[in-house]
Chain A
Amino acid sequence: MLIQILNGLVYAGLLYIVSVGLVLIFGLRRVVNFAHGGFYMVGAYAGYTAAMVFGFWGGLIVAVLVLGLIGILLDYVVFRPLQNADHMVTVLVTFGILLVFEDVVQMIWGADTLSVLAPYPFDGTVQLGDILFPVYRLLVIAVAIAVALGLTLWLRFSRAGLYVRASSVDALTTGMQGVDTEKLSLSVVGLGTALAGLSGVIASPLLALSPSMGSSILIESFIVVVTGGLGSFAGAFIAALLIGQVHNLGIVYVPNVASMLPLLLMVVVLILKPTGFARSYS
């Protein structure tokens, strides 16, 4: 039971890192970014290839940088011109980008599934009670906590964080106060996609790499983001924790309905509290 809860935490950690990038981008650009799953996948593949030259950690840095650049480009080329367009238009465009990415990745790396080994010294197991637990899974939890902490500190205490919080509440007024919101969202979207890249690389020793990996995690991350309250960091954190557990314990105790539970949870939360767990930025 304790081990299953720990497993739930691992999955929650992964979901959180993917989701928090979505939250960042939504907060500033009000864009429901379907391409996020694509960035996660491209991050994993970029990390895979770069790791051949620079090792796993080098690959991670390369993937984060590459995805950050792609994000900046995305904001400049797609989000900025479309910021006054209907929300549906951006949803469709980002969904299109996801499909294009899947095809491009399949063209470059092929449809065959690839796998990545956990990097040394995280490739072993650790004795927890009488059960062996993979060390790498603990690392995933640690990375998620680090991301959560880092983001919170940045949002709370840095000037840029203040601008981000301000402009996600009211972009127009923030702009009138002299904050360059365009430049701000450029870096925030970049940060969001860089986080997608990070999550892709972190996920790769756990999950097999295939062009469809992005769309398969995207749905679960959306459940997290919506349950947490669109645009809320703390909400996403709590929702990821909850959905990780519901997902895992569901498989253990009620396997026949397990795949339904996260969706059910989302529906119940939205009925009781249409804004999700959190109302605004925290």
Chain B
Amino acid sequence: MRTTKLYAGVAAAAFLIAAGASSAADATIKIGVATALTGAYGDLGQQVKRAVDFAVEEVNAKGGIDGRKVETQYQDTQAKADIARQQAEKLVNDGFTILTGSIASGEALGIAPMLERWDAVMMGTVPKADALTGAECSPRFFRANIPDYADAATVGTWLKEQSEKKWAIMGSDTAWGRNSGASFTKTASGLTRDIVAEGYAGLGTNDFAPYIQKILDSGAEGVWVALAGRDAINFAQQAKQFGLIDKLKVAGVSFVTDNTVKTLGDVSKGIYGIINYSSTLDTPANKAFVDAWAKKYPGTLPANFEGETYLGMQVLFAGIDKADSTSPEDIAEALEGIETDTIIGKISVRQADHQFVRGNFFGRIEDQDGTLRPVVATSVAADVAMPAADDACKL
């Protein structure tokens, strides 16, 4: 009796040691996702979560990256810069040194300068402020999505062909909204268009009526909208009630998304906008992705930021694979200049500023096969869509 117990104990101990040893050999890859799970950008944070979960589940099903499993941990930032920084630091302290998830540019701008000190690396897939790969660029920060100045280049090709001369700007009063407004102003004045009204509404604004009335009073023929999440829906719904959407040409960024369409229905029909990613893109890789997505999340198509976050994860995983290491420093080094296949084709990561070099799209919300969705009208190739790196970035 006593011996059996002893044997059992030894066996258990041996098993534990073996398990410990094997997990040390192929340490897991720990991705910390500090994102806006609640708040005015809560829907965008949930999109990031769905995309990261999807990508991680997929790669783990294939046995992980070089045999290393990927593990995630989430923290809620409410899209607030100060909370984002605390949550990111918490994740890093827990060993999750590969970060992603920022929604508002302010969040990423707060985290990026800390990355080297924390010995972490970060993949931005949503924040658009130019400074992240400009004056505030960091050797440890990479951006998968398309920044404002690049969106402006794509808008330029569209705006040239529009007859409207007088434009208004309706932006969110955040680093991103102001940045987008400034980029649009620059593009528009280069094309001899006038900006006749400008409004920037705080995050979580309830009543947009004064802004809408101001735009209507200004005599603008078109309006550029840089609002996202709940703000975008609030504005669109109220603008429709005031007749603004029917009267003016409405275009925007992060405004024409699958989400806006789902929520607004017919209200959104005919709105133009930058489409950074669309589930309708006709590449075999994208089709496979959309099919697999619908299996995991039945009845849904990957939305704009879900696509962008997923492709960010694709490149991140390729970088980890190339680095063959879980050290953030090695991963950052491997990501620099990497070229890899993604759902939107081959993408390279620019050495000078860590921006992904990729094409961009412009389109509008149309009825396609009986469902409203953002439909790509113009594809802009990477060489036009991604202007040269900002000199202000010194890596």
A113 to B47, CA, bound (A): 12
Interface pair A111/B207, CB less than 8 Å apart? no
Q: Given contacts A112-B46, A208-B263, A216-B204, is CB(A102)–CB(B209) below 8 Å?
A: no
Q: How far is the CB of B193 from chain A (nearest CB, A)?
A: 21
Chain B 240-280 interface 0/1 with A at a Cβ cutoff of 8 Å (1 = within): 01110000000000000001001111010000000000000
Say whether A208 contacts B42, CB under 8 Å: no
Q: What distance in Å separates the Cβ of A181 from its nearest Cβ neighbour in chain B? A: 36
Residue B72 is within 8 A (CB to CB) of chain A in the complex? no
Chain A residue at minimum C-beta to C-beta distance from B247: A132
Among B92-100, B229-237, B357-365, which stretch is in contact with chain A? Answer: B229-237
Q: Are A7 and B210 in contact (CB under 8 A)?
A: yes
Beta-carbon contact of A206 and B207 below 8 Å = yes
Question: Would B213 and A3 count as touching, CB distance under 8 A?
Answer: yes
Docked-complex contact B242 and A211, CB < 8 angstroms: no
Say yes or no for B39: interface residue by CB 8 A criterion.
yes
Interface check A185, CB cutoff 8 A: no
Q: Which residues of A contact B216 (CB under 8 A)?
A: 131
Known: A206-B207, A208-B230. A102 touches B243 (CB 8 A): no
Find A216's partner among B40, B211, B242, B262 (CB 8 Å cutoff).
B40
A73 within 8 A of B: no
Of the A-B pairs whose beta carbons lie under 8 Å apart in the complex, a sample of 16, sorted by A's number, is A3-B213, A7-B207, A111-B37, A112-B43, A115-B233, A134-B241, A136-B241, A137-B209, A206-B241, A207-B234, A208-B237, A210-B230, A212-B42, A216-B40, A217-B206, A248-B207
Least distance between A248 CB and chain B CB atoms (Å): 5
Q: How far is the CA of A98 from the CA of B39 in the complex (A)?
A: 13
A11 sits at the interface (CB 8 A)? yes
* Minimal beta-carbon separation of B57 from chain A (angstroms): 20
Main secondary structure of the interface of A (DSSP, over half): helix
A103 to chain B, nearest CB (A): 8
Q: A32-48 toward B: CB 8 Å interface, digit per residue (1/0)?
A: 00000000000000000
Pair B202/A255 contact, Cβ less than 8 Å: no
Q: With A111-B46, A206-B238 in contact, do A259 and B202 touch (Cβ < 8 Å)?
A: yes
A211 to B78, CA, bound (A): 12
- Expressed in whole angstroms, the minimum distance between the Cβ of A244 and any Cβ of chain B is 9
Asked if A111 and B233 sit within 8 Å, CB to CB, the answer is no
What mask results when residues 324 to 358 of chain B are scored 1 for a CB within 8 Å of chain A, else 0?
00000000000000000000000000000000000
Interface check B199, CB cutoff 8 A: yes
Number of chain A residues whose Cβ lies closer than 8 Å to a Cβ of chain B: 42
Inter-subunit contact A113/B207 (CB<8 Å): no
Residue of B nearest to A255 (CB): B199
B236: shortest Cβ distance to chain A, in Å? Answer: 8
Point out residues on A near B: beta carbons under 8 Å.
3-4, 7-8, 10-11, 14, 102, 106, 110-115, 118, 125, 131-134, 136-137, 203, 205-208, 210-213, 216-217, 220, 247-249, 251-252, 255, 259
**Interchain CB contact (< 8 A) of A4 among B200, B204, B213, B230:** B213
Interface residues of B (CB under 8 A from A): 37-40, 42-43, 45-46, 173, 199-202, 204, 206-207, 209-211, 213-214, 216, 229-230, 233-234, 237-238, 241-243, 259, 262-265, 267
Q: Which of the residues A7, A207, A216 comes within 8 Å of B213, measured between beta carbons?
A: A7
A207–B243 alpha-carbon span in the complex (Å)? 16
Q: Nearest CB to that of B198 among chain A residues?
A: A255
Query: Is the beta-carbon distance between B43 and A111 smaller than 8 angstroms?
Result: yes
Q: How far is the CA of A10 from the CA of B214 in the complex (A)?
A: 16
Residues of B within 8 A of A212 (CB): 38-40, 42, 204, 230
Residues of B within 8 A of A132 (CB): 242-243
Residues of A within 8 A of B43 (CB): 111-113, 210
Chain B residue contacts of A133, Cβ below 8 A? 242
Complex Cα distance A216/B40, Å? Answer: 9
Best-buried of A10, A131, A220, A255 by chain B (most CB within 10 Å): A255
Asked if residues B241 and A118 are in contact (CB atoms below 8 Å), the reply is yes
Q: Determine which of A7, A113, A134, A211 lies in contact with B233 in the assembled complex, contact meaning CB atoms within 8 Å.
A: A113
| Cα(A110)–Cα(B262), bound, Å | 13
Does B259 contact A112, Cβ atoms closer than 8 Å? yes
Q: How far is A195 from B90 in the complex, measured between Cα atoms in Å?
A: 41
Closest chain B residue, CB of each to CB of A112: B43
Q: Looking across the interface, which residue of chain B has its beta carbon closest to that of A136?
A: B241
| Alpha-carbon separation in the docked complex, A251 to B204 (Å) | 15
B-side contacts of A248, CB under 8 Å: 207, 209-210
5 nearest A-B residue pairs (beta carbon): A134-B241, A208-B233, A251-B210, A7-B209, A111-B42
Contacts of A115 in B (CB 8 A): 233, 237, 263-265, 267
Chain B residue nearest to A131 in the complex (CB): B216
Give chain A nearest CB distance to B235 CB in angstroms.
Answer: 9
Instruction: For residue B202, give the distance in angstroms from its CB to the closest CB of chain A.
Output: 5
Q: Which residue of the partner chain A has the closest CB to B259?
A: A112
**Cα separation A252 to B40 with both chains bound (whole Å):** 23
| Contact B262 A112, beta carbon cutoff 8 Å | yes
Instruction: Give chain A nearest CB distance to B303 CB in angstroms.
Output: 10
Q: Identify the interface centre among B201, B216, B263: most chain A CB within 10 Å of its CB.
A: B263
B210 near A111: Cβ-Cβ < 8 Å: no
In the docked arrangement, what's the CA distance between A259 and B207, Å?
12
Name the contact of A252 in the complex, choosing from B38, B46, B202, B214 (C-beta under 8 A): B214
